[in-house]
């Protein structure tokens, strides 16, 4: 069964087969954020990846400082994650069972699990992964308030392994993209709005131009479409000069009835836009990413 990202409240033992790193963190952050919003305890097993997960939450405007300080969000350190994953499948499942018991003892309504397992599990071969997934699936059926996201990257798992994982999991989370070349990921987030994550350079800047042209054309043909064409750049970490010039020129070509809004712009991207004339483009609005503290992974 497949479910879209908006159906996270219905997901239980779920897997995602990411198209790229940007896709991976998009889904992971959404999973964590949904758990926090539901009031669940969230446990993330990290393997030198917590900073990346927290950064995406920050870019998504999800406040996690109180959750970290109050114990709602627990990040299991790398050394513990790696040690756990060297154990047999049933022993790893027992660690999850202990997290379920601890969650109930602390009075949380539910438990949301995610994190790194690929390197440790892969070391034991595909059969260990299958044994673990089947073992944890049996456990989760006895704990309906516990949900778990398992991530399987095609860089490390062949088609046969991916098919096995899909067969075991009741739900596969699917988040369609307009474009994803593993460097840049573009997704629709609403009427006349899209999110651009990753890096824009010579290899993909034409895709951004095409997105703007098609979105503006659709807006001009609709009486109910917004007059602002919005690009959320919260997760755009690199924009080359030509890409910035292209955005400025695209805005200059907008009719007076419409504007190009660049929202959540990170400081390094803002500097490039400023140098390329963004402040002087009449139909361009640039909104910086809010300057709030980004929490570190481990205090």
Looking at the predicted structure, is the pLDDT value of residue 70 above 70? yes
pLDDT of residue 298: 43
CA separation for the pair 56, 237 (Å, rounded): 11
Q: State whether 155 and 187 are in the same domain.
A: no
Residue in 258, 259, 260, 268 with CA at minimum distance from that of residue 289: 268
Residue with the larger pLDDT of the pair 298 and 108: 108
Q: State whether 85 and 151 are in the same domain.
A: yes
pLDDT bracket for residue 299 (50, 70, 90): very low
Q: State whether 139 and 236 are in the same domain.
A: no
Q: State whether 186 and 143 are in the same domain.
A: no
Task: Examine the fold and report which residue of 130, 158, 174 is the final residue of a domain before the chain moves on.
Answer: 174
Domain annotation covers residue 296: no
- In whole angstroms, how large is the CA radius of gyration of the chain? 21
pLDDT of residue 120: 59
Domain annotation covers residue 41: yes
pLDDT of residue 1: 72
Q: In b/e form, how buried is each residue of 178-216, taking b as 16+ CB within 10 angstroms? A: bebbebbbbbeeeebbbbbbbbbeeebbebbeebbeebb
pLDDT of residue 125: 82
Residues in the chain: 299
- For 296, left (φ over 0), alpha (ψ -120 to 50), or beta? beta
Q: The tokens 């907008």 sit on which residue?
A: 254
Task: Examine the fold and report which residue of 119, 151, 174 is the final residue of a domain before the chain moves on.
Answer: 174
CA distances from 210 to 142, 246, 265, 269, 282 (A): 49, 11, 20, 20, 21
Domain range for residue 85?
Answer: 2-174
**The total number of structural domains that make up the chain:** 2
Looking at the predicted structure, is the pLDDT value of residue 5 above 90? no
Whole-structure pTM value: 0.91
Taking residues 28-34, report their average pLDDT.
Answer: 96
Q: State whether 6 and 149 are in the same domain.
A: yes
- For the record, the structure tokens of 93 come out as 């499942």
Domain annotation covers residue 299: no
Looking at the predicted structure, is the pLDDT value of residue 297 above 60? no
pLDDT digits (tens, 9 = 90+) for 81-109: 999 999 999 999 999 999 999 999 999 99
Looking at the predicted structure, is the pLDDT value of residue 292 above 70? no
CATH of the domain at 44: 3.40.50.300
pLDDT digits (tens, 9 = 90+) for 196-219: 999 999 999 999 999 999 999 999
Pairing of strands 41-45, 228-232: unpaired
Task: Examine the fold and report which residue of 174, 203, 232 is the final residue of a domain before the chain moves on.
Answer: 174
Taking residues 260-271, report their average pLDDT.
Answer: 97
pLDDT of residue 121: 65
CA separation for the pair 136, 99 (Å, rounded): 12
Beta bridge partners of 190: 193
- For the record, the structure tokens of 131 come out as 């044994």
Beta bridge partners of 16: 151
Looking at the predicted structure, is the pLDDT value of residue 245 above 70? yes
Taking residues 261-273, report their average pLDDT.
Answer: 97
């Amino acid at each position: 069964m497949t479910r879209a990202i908006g159906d996270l409240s219905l997901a239980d033992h779920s897997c995602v087969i990411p198209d790229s790193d940007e896709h991976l963190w998009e889904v992971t952050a959404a999973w964590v954020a949904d758990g926090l919003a539901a009031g669940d305890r969230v446990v993330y097993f990290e393997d030198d990846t917590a900073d990346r997960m927290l950064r995406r939450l920050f870019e998504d405007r999800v406040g996690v400082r109180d959750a970290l300080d109050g114990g709602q969000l627990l990040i299991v350190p790398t050394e513990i994650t790696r040690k756990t994953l060297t154990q047999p499948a049933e022993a790893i499942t027992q660690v999850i069972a202990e997290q379920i018991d601890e969650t109930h003892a602390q009075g949380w309504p539910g438990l949301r699990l995610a994190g790194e397992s690929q390197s440790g599990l892969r070391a034991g071969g595909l059969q260990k992964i299958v044994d673990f997934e089947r073992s944890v699936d049996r456990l989760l059926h006895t704990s309906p308030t516990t949900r778990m996201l398992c991530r399987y990257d095609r860089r490390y798992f062949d088609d046969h392994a991916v098919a096995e994982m899909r067969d075991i999991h009741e739900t596969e989370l699917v988040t369609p993209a307009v474009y994803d070349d593993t460097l840049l990921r573009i997704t629709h987030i609403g009427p006349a709005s899209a999110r651009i994550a990753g890096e824009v350079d010579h290899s993909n800047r034409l895709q951004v131009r095409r997105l703007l042209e098609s979105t503006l054309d659709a807006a001009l043909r609709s009486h109910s479409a917004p007059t602002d064409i919005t690009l959320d750049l919260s997760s755009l970490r690199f924009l080359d000069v030509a890409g910035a010039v292209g955005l400025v020129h695209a805005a200059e070509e907008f009719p007076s009835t419409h504007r190009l809004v660049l929202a959540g712009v990170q400081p390094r991207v803002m500097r490039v836009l400023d140098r390329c004339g963004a402040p002087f483009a009449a139909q361009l609005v640039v909104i910086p990413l809010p300057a709030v503290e980004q929490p570190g992974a481990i205090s």
